[in-house]
A and B are shown apart, each in its own frame.
Chain A
């Protein structure tokens, strides 16, 4: 599928800030499932910083904006050809060994309920188990926007029984670790065919390390494995580490954020 992306993030500061530093994971991953036709990231008034491929295989690009500035626009436009690989992350190069992803971070720390949930799943072999874990998470946490916030942990989301894709993903990472399967957070875009609601276009899912297959994506929110509707940007141990944009402003200005993401399928 050929997908067209137009992703605009606007930062407004109520008082001008002295400067902004950002770290972007906004470049589609290099793997067998996607091929970039064109891709451009611009930052209004921004100076391009260093760029490098990190240990997880993602392209990280730094930007800085010298103030005073009260509005910054980050715009991503591009065209990617995608293929359905049933969630397999084939031909993706990375330096971090899978074992290192068993390390918990604050939002993916387990509690008794997560451990129970993880043990409630069963499957014949690691792939079936990973599917079962993903289903268990989807059953335990209903998709309900607005019920959780950026800092909600997996344990909290499970306790309240509802959340969004970020919460599903954290919960699946936590459950996979209980079953000794390395897992991580993936951020990207989703072309929503049926009821394409805007909040889904900027999406998150999990990857679980399955012996013999490697990393396999699971999207509990949509009860599927990522296919050609998905564009993978980057990964990390949790939502914060995998965030497409991380930034810090120097100054006292209060920040307000507007995000619009449009994903379209090109006519072929």
Chain B
């Protein structure tokens, strides 16, 4: 295991951010730990937070394992990450503004034209339409992994509707309830301001036609959706209405919500449904989830949709390779966060390399998610590798490959006591009039020994994520 960076122990010594956790850990006998673990589970069940993270599918009623051992960032570590995340969120939004306008980055030859304009997620229906404040992706979830004290890599960007933030909030809430003493002995930056910050961010991008206090709603596909819990949880904490398509209708230049007091105009819709279902008049005519005429209201400036339709073109796995280029092109800065080196099987030379190095690589589907349809070379049998080789050869353009990263580990409670397990991190960056980031995020942990796959559908759990105050 020494090949992996352990975030708590560096060459045997305890790293400063974890100093106080060591005593806490040592003072916890097995019986107490089991008791606490059972208590945590009961709390989660009572809250009802059982949905799968990131729309990974799987059993929606299954509880995602919560590990009580927190993941800790020192103040300085976090400040650097924060700068990198905000920089990336700015660049992604600049890219979206550009490709739906003049496409300067394409004209300059910095990103291939077809990759952008023939992308499944490029939406002709919003070309030439500028959303309020020019923001397309209002909640940017950036998945990060760490490989050393100062080495962080971005695994992927999520510009549409990244989920999982309710875990960030619940994990903290539960830790504070169960271990109040930890929050006295450590100065931990709060994350509970997130819902209010999200509400303010959304209100700040209300359309110009909106005079006065904007009405914000969350649009959900309904209770059968695996993330419905998160939708209602956020609506509750933000103090806004949770609506389904049938609760809204278009009249004249605006969108209205049916209420017991009569129709109420809606100014900002935080939608948790995909573009294609938003409006049967503009997109899929068979959509029962959307609102007929919504896109015309949006495009004529009567309502804001967050994230903006078409935002997905920025978080495609093939576009991902060009994000560092976006940072340089739009911001004139060097990227603070690095990309994982990526081979695109659509390119002949890359494909050749990938096929001859499969046992060392991680291969993913360009449009896949949730750890499905991927190959982790070092963890796969010869047969699995050969089967995957055939799949790649069939449709090379559907795959990208990356080196197997030495994901950092954090101590985690396991059957035998405490042991290092691999983790990743998803912080949630909010983009409105200003760019904001709460100090924290969602840490996912691969609970199986040696596993590098943190997805909840593949045996992953979650941890509270701390950022220490200065």
| Candidates A19, A21, A51, A66; contact of B281 at CB < 8 Å | A21
Q: How far is the CB of B357 from chain A (nearest CB, A)?
A: 33
Instruction: Check if B379 is an interface residue, CB within 8 A of chain A.
Output: no
Please, how many angstroms separate the alpha-carbon atoms of A49 and B300 in the complex?
9
Q: Is the interface of B mostly helix, strand, loop or mixed?
A: loop
Please, how many angstroms separate the alpha-carbon atoms of A88 and B210 in the complex?
41
- B302 neighbours in A (Cβ, 8 Å): 49-50
Instruction: Check if A60 is an interface residue, CB within 8 A of chain B.
Output: yes
- Whether B280 contacts A248 by the Cβ 8 Å rule is yes
**Those of A36-93 within 8 Å (CB) of chain B:** 47-56, 60, 62, 64, 66
Q: How far is the CB of A179 from chain B (nearest CB, A)?
A: 16
Q: How far is the CB of A47 from chain B (nearest CB, A)?
A: 5
Q: Is the interface of A mostly helix, strand, loop or mixed?
A: strand
- Whether A248 contacts B297 by the Cβ 8 Å rule is no
- Whether A21 contacts B293 by the Cβ 8 Å rule is yes
- Whether A62 contacts B297 by the Cβ 8 Å rule is yes
**Those of B288-331 within 8 Å (CB) of chain A:** 292-293, 296-297, 299-302
| Candidates A23, A52, A96, A240; contact of B293 at CB < 8 Å | A23
The stretch of A97-105, A123-131, A152-160 that contacts the partner chain: A97-105
**Those of A220-268 within 8 Å (CB) of chain B:** 237, 240, 246-248, 250
- B282 neighbours in A (Cβ, 8 Å): 23
- Whether A248 contacts B293 by the Cβ 8 Å rule is yes
- A247 neighbours in B (Cβ, 8 Å): 281
- B122 neighbours in A (Cβ, 8 Å): 100, 103
| Candidates B124, B251, B280; contact of A56 at CB < 8 Å | B124
- Whether B118 contacts A103 by the Cβ 8 Å rule is yes
Instruction: Check if A94 is an interface residue, CB within 8 A of chain B.
Output: yes
Instruction: Check if B103 is an interface residue, CB within 8 A of chain A.
Output: yes
The stretch of B76-84, B125-133, B167-175 that contacts the partner chain: B125-133
- Whether A100 contacts B251 by the Cβ 8 Å rule is no
- B301 neighbours in A (Cβ, 8 Å): 50, 52
Instruction: Check if A112 is an interface residue, CB within 8 A of chain B.
Output: no
Please, how many angstroms separate the alpha-carbon atoms of A97 and B101 in the complex?
10
**Those of A100-119 within 8 Å (CB) of chain B:** 100, 102-103
Please, how many angstroms separate the alpha-carbon atoms of A95 and B103 in the complex?
9
- A19 neighbours in B (Cβ, 8 Å): 249, 251
- B126 neighbours in A (Cβ, 8 Å): 55
Chain B interface (Cβ < 8 Å from any Cβ of A): 100-101, 103, 106, 113-114, 117-118, 122, 124-129, 249-253, 280-282, 285, 292-293, 296-297, 299-302
A-B residue pairs, 7 tightest by C-beta = A50-B300, A55-B127, A95-B128, A21-B293, A62-B296, A55-B128, A100-B117
Chain A interface (Cβ < 8 Å from any Cβ of B): 19, 21-23, 47-56, 60, 62, 64, 66, 94-97, 99-100, 102-103, 237, 240, 246-248, 250
Interface pairs (16), CB distance under 8 Å: A23-B281, A49-B251, A49-B296, A51-B300, A52-B300, A54-B129, A55-B100, A60-B296, A62-B250, A62-B253, A66-B251, A95-B101, A95-B128, A97-B103, A99-B113, A247-B281
